């Protein structure tokens, strides 16, 4: 590793590492018992780790044409207090379609600003999809058009970068785009969790990510700094995968325009059930990376300002912990593997089930807002379970209510997620950071409160009477090409049900009715879920079955009236 990165090791003991062992002075941030903590807080210990320092992890920074952003990303890696010990090498992978290739090479090449940090550089030419596997790249390149849409080019760059880094023998790769900066314990996160990927079958894990889509500043606090959770929604944005997963599975079906297409991006493709296969990713509650770019192939400035700009960042949160750092200088760097056993699927499921079972049900997030902002209540019961309304009364002069952990459960319908959940909480308009239909939410101003959000249709932890199931009267029906569900259902003397459409919005249901020769994909549009006809040659999605996050265009309810001349809708008729 370069001298610049090595120089940071002298300061690494001053940081509070993610999931690292901590000393007695830090114990106020830890749970009081040795059981799985509330809110899946990591258990930290005050003795040296029983794991060897990690090896064979490479960090790959993917660059296009944002030279200042790349410099900021590499500067953050150089400052990262744990990256020197975590990563054996730092590579920069350059998209060959960039007009700034020469500028980037000057920055990272011999004598450049980042020469001491960067171990190697390569350029991924757009005319070759898989340049990293020399034995097969020429055959694949012959069938790969040079000109492609931005999302396909990004997917090809990822494939090239992964081929290149794993061809060099590394067992794990952490991928970071050039508009990201990393926190002080970014490296420790991956070093401490690589064994989960090494034992991927036991832990049912596809990746480890530094990102939490729900990690807004108002939804985190110091006591969850060390928290990790499982999510079936691929986070991306600074993530690690194993060489075995790439070579044995993902490489041969990656959406590079030859093996598959992903019209909304490789990350959306990776979130589909065919890729996740029941596995999850591991992510921290407090993000260990920050997105600095407010525009991109999948990012609009309006969305960035509304959501991405509000996300927390671990180094900012550490300002609140600075007083404890000197006392923690002797803390071990790596976490014992045994301390992450709560992430094992069966243990984790048991914990979530217990939390859901014991949580207080609330009828709306407006009630929870009152609880969070009201520090005192006359009535300790706080919520009337029968009516779902507050039974206590705000009394600013009364004694402060107990700060003991309190868990609340709000059950939602997906088509009401924007109005009932996303807008009140200030989060993405689609359910993200979700595990089996459950999202876990914390609050900066109410550290003792944990909120569980549960999708009534897909969450298996709910009581039977709380779950929504397809109506026995509903009939799934394949519409004709270009036909709306209103018209299709009318043709069999039934009515389309937008609510029942939610149960049709899966790849599995679509594949029951259509061939889907090009697989299943994720898209947006008023005509979804649907199958795209194979003769729609002008569409990148031709031959695909398409599902959606939710309604068009803003994530609300699916529609019965939508149609498109190249698709056949899957309808729910009652």
Question: CA–CA separation, 52 vs 272, rounded Å?
Answer: 35
- Contact at 8 Å (CB) between 446 and 219? no
- Residue 84 lies inside a defined structural domain of this protein: yes
Same domain, 100 and 244: yes
Question: CA–CA separation, 281 vs 167, rounded Å?
Answer: 24
Question: CA–CA separation, 228 vs 237, rounded Å?
Answer: 16
Same domain, 414 and 526: no
Asked if omega into 529 is within 30° of 0 (cis), the reply is yes
Pick the last residue of a domain from 339, 355, 370.
Answer: 339
Write down the H helix ranges in 262-398: 266-270, 273-276, 301-306, 314-317, 345-358, 365-373
pLDDT tens per residue across span 84-100:
999 999 999 999 887 88
Same domain, 184 and 244: yes
pTM, to two decimals: 0.82
- Checking if the pLDDT of 40 tops 50, the result is no
Pick the last residue of a domain from 285, 311, 339.
Answer: 339
pLDDT tens per residue across span 96-142:
887 888 888 888 877 778 888 999 999 998 755 443 333 333 333 33
Same domain, 116 and 225: yes
- Residue 261 lies inside a defined structural domain of this protein: no
**Domain membership of residue 395 as a residue range:** 344-466
Same domain, 155 and 75: yes
pLDDT tens per residue across span 515-570:
999 889 888 889 999 999 999 988 888 899 999 976 555 667 899 999 999 999 99
Q: What is the CATH number of the domain that holds 171?
A: 3.90.550.10
Between strands 449-455 and 438-442, the pairing is antiparallel
Same domain, 77 and 195: yes
Close Cβ partners of 310 (under 8 Å, ≥ 6 residues apart): 216, 217, 218, 426
Q: What share of residues in the chain are helix, strand, coil (percent, to 5)? A: 35, 20, 45
Question: CA–CA separation, 362 vs 342, rounded Å?
Answer: 27
pLDDT top residue among 143 and 101? 101
- Residue 31 lies inside a defined structural domain of this protein: no
- Residue 105 lies inside a defined structural domain of this protein: yes
Between strands 120-124 and 567-573, the pairing is unpaired
Tell me which residue of 61, 73, 259, 72 sits closest to 174, measured CA to CA: 61
- Residue 266 lies inside a defined structural domain of this protein: no
pLDDT at 477: 98
pLDDT at 261: 73
Pick the last residue of a domain from 301, 323, 339.
Answer: 339
Same domain, 110 and 174: yes
Same domain, 327 and 397: no
Identify whether 267 is a catalytic site residue: yes
- Residue 152 lies inside a defined structural domain of this protein: yes
Question: CA–CA separation, 496 vs 269, rounded Å?
Answer: 29
When mean pLDDT is compared across 95-99, 227-231, 501-505, the lowest value belongs to: 95-99
Same domain, 327 and 360: no
Q: SS3 for 477? A: strand
Close Cβ partners of 251 (under 8 Å, ≥ 6 residues apart): 133, 159, 162, 163
Average pLDDT estimate for 283-309: 74
Element (H, E) at 118: none
- Checking if the pLDDT of 207 tops 80, the result is yes
- Checking if the pLDDT of 191 tops 90, the result is yes
- Checking if the pLDDT of 445 tops 70, the result is yes
Total domain count, the chain: 3
Please tell me which residue in 267, 315, 455, 486 is annotated as part of the active site. Answer: 267
């Amino acid at each position: 590793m370069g001298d610049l990165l090595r120089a940071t090791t002298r300061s690494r003991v001053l940081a509070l590492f993610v999931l690292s062992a901590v000393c007695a002075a830090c114990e106020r941030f830890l749970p009081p018992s040795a059981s799985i903590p509330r809110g899946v807080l990591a258990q930290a210990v005050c003795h040296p780790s029983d794991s060897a320092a990690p090896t064979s992890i490479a960090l790959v920074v993917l660059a296009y044409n944002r030279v200042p952003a790349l410099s900021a990303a590499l500067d953050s890696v150089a400052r990262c207090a744990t990256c020197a010990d975590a990563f054996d090498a730092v590579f920069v992978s350059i998209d060959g379609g960039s007009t700034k290739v020469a500028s980037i090479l000057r920055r990272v090449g011999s004598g450049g600003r980042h020469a001491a940090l960067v171990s190697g550089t390569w350029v991924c030419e757009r005319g070759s999809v898989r340049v990293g596997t020399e034995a097969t790249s020429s055959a694949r390149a012959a069938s790969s058009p040079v000109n492609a849409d931005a999302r396909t080019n990004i997917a090809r760059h990822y494939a090239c970068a992964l081929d290149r880094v794993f061809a060099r023998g590394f067992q794990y790769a952490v991928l970071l785009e050039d508009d990201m900066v990393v926190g002080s314990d970014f490296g420790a996160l991956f070093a401490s969790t690589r064994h989960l990927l090494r034992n991927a079958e036991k832990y049912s894990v596809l990746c480890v990510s530094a990102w939490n889509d729900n990690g807004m500043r108002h939804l985190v606090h110091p006591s969850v700094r060390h928290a990790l959770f499982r999510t079936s929604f691929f986070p991306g944005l600074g993530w690690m995968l194993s060489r075995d997963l790439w070579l044995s599975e993902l490489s041969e079906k990656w959406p590079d325009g030859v093996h598959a297409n992903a019209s909304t991006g490789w990350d959306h493709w990776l979130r589909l059930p065919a890729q996740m296969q029941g596995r999850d990713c591991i992510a921290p509650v407090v993000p260990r990376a920050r997105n600095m770019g407010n525009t991109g192939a999948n990012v609009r400035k309006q969305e960035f300002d509304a959501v991405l700009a509000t996300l927390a960042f671990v180094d900012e949160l550490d300002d609140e912990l600075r007083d404890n750092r000197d006392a923690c200088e002797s803390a071990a760097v790596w976490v014992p593997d045994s301390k992450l056993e709560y992430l094992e699927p069966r243990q984790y499921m048991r914990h979530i089930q217990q939390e859901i079972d014991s949580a207080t049900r609330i009828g709306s997030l407006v009630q929870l807002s009152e609880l969070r902002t009201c520090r005192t209540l006359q009535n300790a019961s706080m919520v009337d379970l029968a009516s779902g309304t507050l039974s206590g009364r705000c009394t600013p002069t009364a004694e402060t209510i107990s700060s003991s952990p309190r868990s609340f459960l709000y059950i939602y319908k997906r088509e009401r997620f924007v109005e009932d959940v996303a807008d009140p909480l200030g989060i993405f308009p689609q359910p993200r950071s979700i595990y089996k239909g459950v999202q876990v939410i914390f609050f900066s101003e109410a550290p003792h409160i944990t909120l569980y959000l549960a999708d009534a249709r897909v969450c298996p932890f709910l009581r039977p009477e709380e779950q929504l199931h397809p109506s026995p009267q509903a009939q799934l029906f394949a519409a004709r090409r270009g036909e709306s569900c209103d018209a299709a259902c009318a043709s069999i003397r039934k009515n389309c049900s937008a609510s029942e459409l939610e149960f049709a919005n899966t790849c599995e249901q679509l594949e029951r009715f259509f061939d889907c020769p090009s697989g299943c994909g994720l898209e947006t549009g008023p005509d979804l879920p649907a199958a795209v006809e194979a003769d729609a040659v002008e569409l990148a999605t031709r031959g695909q079955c398409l599902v959606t996050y939710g309604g068009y265009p803003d994530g609300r309810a699916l529609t019965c009236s939508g149609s498109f001349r190249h698709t056949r809708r899957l309808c729910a008729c009652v």
